[in-house]
Amino acid sequence: MVLKDPYDRPITNLRISLTSRCNLKCIYCHREGEVKPEAELPLEQVAEILRVAAKFGIRSVKFTGGEPLLRKDIIDIVRAVPPGMESSMTTNGILLSRYAHDLKAAGMKRVNVSIDSINPETYQRITGFDQLGKVLDGMKVAIDSGLTPIKINMVVLEGINDTEVDDFLAYIRGNRDLILQLIELMDFNDCDHHSKLNGLEDSLAARSKTIITRRMHHRKKYCLDGAEVEVVRPLHNSEFCRFCNRLRVTSDGKLKPCLLRTDNHVDIRGKSGNELEDLFRKAVSLREPYYK
C-alpha cells in the first residue's frame, strides 16, 4: 500500500538523518532545521522505521547526517534495510575509504559525496578542514567497491566556488561512475553566498547534447561532452514541490513532511507497530507543496 498525500503525491522515498554529529564545519550547514538535537535513534528504532516504510511501499532509503559514517553501528543499520528496498548514503567522504567495502557487502547500492571544491584551499575555507585528499581517496575506494554511480554534491556558493563548475566537469568527464549534482544554497542560516542557478542551468542546457527530465522533483539531467550534471533547485520552484515523493526522518526522531518547513514535524521517537504506522499516515497527510 503506497501512501499518498492530499495532493495525490505518492511517497516512495525515505531520507533518514542518522546523526547531527559531523567532522566538518561547513559554512552553509542547516542541520535539517534541528536546533537542539536529542540522542540519536537506536538501531532498533531505525530498523522499525524501515519496516514500516517498506510496508507502505517505500522503495528506497537514503541515510544522511550530519555525517552518517560517524555512527559505529552504520553497517548494522544498512543490513537492517528490508529486502527490495534500495539504500544509499550522503557522506562527506572523509571516512569512506574505511567503510566502502563493508557498506557494499551490507547491501548498499551507491553513495553521494559532498565536495564543494576540488581546490584544497577553497575546500578548507568552506568546510573548516584540510581533508580534500581523504575525500578523493574515499571516492576511489567507493568506485572500486561498486558503490556507483557516485553523485558529487556541490553546493554552489557565489564568490567562493561558483567558478569551479567547469573544473568539476573536467574532473568527471569520461568517468561513467561519477555524476555532478549542483545544489542551490538553502535559506536556513546566515550564509549569504546565494548563486543564481537559472543562468548556470541555461548554460548547461545550451551545451548539452541530451537533456533528461528525472521523476524526482522533475529535475533535469544534462549530458555534455562525456559528463552528466543534475541541478537541484528547491527554492521558489513549484516543479520541485509538485513532484516531491520524499518523506524525511530527523536525527532526533521526527518525521519531516517538507524539506522547507520545520513547523509540522511528527514525533516518532520510541514508537513502533500500529502507532508508528498511524504517525506515518499523519505525517503524509500534513504534506503540501511549499511553492505552488
pLDDT tens for the chain, 292 residues: list them.
899 999 999 999 999 999 999 999 999 987 665 656 678 999 999 999 999 999 999 999 999 999 999 999 999 999 999 999 999 999 999 999 999 999 999 999 999 999 999 999 999 999 999 999 999 999 999 999 999 999 999 999 999 999 999 999 999 999 999 999 999 998 766 666 767 787 888 889 999 989 998 877 678 899 998 999 999 999 889 999 999 999 999 999 999 999 999 999 999 999 999 999 999 999 999 999 999 9
Secondary structure E strands in the chain: 13-17, 60-64, 86-91, 110-114, 150-155, 178-183, 210-213, 220-224, 227-232, 246-249, 254-256, 266-267
- Long-range Cβ contacts of 200-205 (<8 Å, 24+ apart): 200/156, 200/162, 200/165, 200/231, 201/231, 201/233, 204/229, 204/231
Cα–Cα distance, 227 to 112 (Å, whole number): 16
pLDDT at position 191 is 64
The residues facing 247 across adjacent strands are: 14
pLDDT at residue number 197: 83
Distance of CA 5 to the CA centre of its chain: 22
Q: In this predicted structure, what is the pLDDT of residue 190?
A: 61
Across-strand partners of 154?
182
Hunting for cell 541515510 — which residue is that? 63
Q: Under CATH, which architecture does the 13-285 domain have?
A: Alpha-Beta Barrel (3.20)
Q: Say what the pTM is.
A: 0.95
Nearest alpha carbon to residue 234 among 242, 226, 223? 242
* pLDDT value for 32: 61
Output the pLDDT for position 91.
98
Domain boundaries, the chain: 13-285
